Amino acid sequence: MDRTTYLSELFYSIQGEGVTRGKPSVFARFAHCNLMCGGHNADLVKRGKATWWCDSETVWRSGEKVTVDDVIRKLKDMGEYQNIQDGITNLILTGGEPTMPSTAEFLLGLVMNFDYYAFIEIETNGTLLNSFAEDLLGRVDQINCSPKLANSGMPRSQRINEKAIEYINELDNSWFKFVVSSDEDWEEIKEDYLPLIDREKIILMPAVDNFDDVQEAFKKIWLLGQQEHLLITNRDHIVAWNRVTGV
């Protein structure tokens, strides 16, 4: 019986964040997550318990049931399957949380359909470690791990899995992207995460979701990165389109 999972959206765009920022990419977003950063419909933000909201929540909370063959067919219909095979377009597996066991098992089947030149990224919150997740993380070309801070509104017990973070850090192709709202967030990163990950793998990104605030937010990240000698990234899709998903 074919594995199935729930695909929330599949679209071609440009990677707007991180070390492959600017690369033509297909985003395959899968449903469901084990965290709810900012709360349902940003209720934690509204109550002052978080400074940012998971801007893809409204997308990944639902999805279309698909098989691996369905996803491949959709990529071919988009005209991007061969581009991925040839390394022209990256494939980005995101969510939700793609390392949840049922999704990770599905994605293991999906990545087997791509050849050597394909470049596959995965975006994960770094809180789950299971046999399917370990196998999947070992097969992709780049791991974009986004560990959560207190500014997400999530309790520490849910957002920090030290064993999972250390496992991901040991993989040569992993990066750790932190959503930062203030200098205090960097102090939290130093205390909670620097004992677990390599400093040179850290990337700071502003907690911003609209064009009006992006310049000031990125300026703060720029100064912090300059001060601490860290990599930084903006959110280029917001700069270009003033939208957080689907562009």
Average pLDDT over residues 187-209: 94
Region 201-227: mean pLDDT is 92
| SS3 label, residue 167 | helix
Alpha helix stretches (DSSP H) within the chain: 43-46, 57-60, 68-78, 81-85, 101-111, 131-137, 156-159, 162-169, 183-192, 211-228, 236-241
If DSSP codes are grouped into helix, strand and coil, which group holds residue 77? helix
Could you tell me the pLDDT band of residue 207, with boundaries at 50, 70 and 90? confident
Q: Which residue has the higher pLDDT, 208 or 110?
A: 110
Whether 223 is covered by a domain: the verdict is yes
What is the model's pLDDT at position 208?
82
Contacts from 19-25 at CB under 8 Å and sequence distance 24+? 19/142, 19/175, 19/203, 19/231, 19/233, 20/90, 20/121, 20/142, 21/233, 21/234, 21/236, 22/236, 23/90, 24/83, 24/88, 24/89, 24/90, 25/89, 25/90, 25/91, 25/92, 25/121
Q: With respect to residue 247, please indicate whether it lies within any of the assigned structural domains.
A: no
Distance between CA atoms of 151 and 220, rounded to whole angstroms?
Answer: 16
CA–CA separation, 28 and 10 (whole Å)? 5
**Mode of pairing for the β-strands spanning 4-14 and 64-67:** antiparallel
4-8, 143-147, 160-164, 239-243: lowest mean pLDDT where? 239-243
Mean residue pLDDT of the chain comes to 93
Residue 91 is assigned to a structural domain of this protein: yes
Mean pLDDT value across residues 56-82: 95
Within-domain flag for 168: yes
Q: How confident is the model at residue 183 (pLDDT cuts 50, 70, 90)?
A: confident
Number of domains in the chain: 1
pLDDT digits (tens, 9 = 90+) for 52-61: 788 788 899 9
Residue 246 lies inside a defined structural domain of this protein = no
Mean pLDDT value of segment 162-185: 95
Question: For residue 72, is it within any domain?
Answer: yes
CA distances from 74 to 78, 98, 103, 149, 189 (A): 6, 19, 18, 36, 39
CATH code where residue 208 lies: 3.20.20.70
Domain that holds residue 205: 4-241
pLDDT at 244: 66
Tell me the percentage of the chain whose pLDDT exceeds 70.
Answer: 98
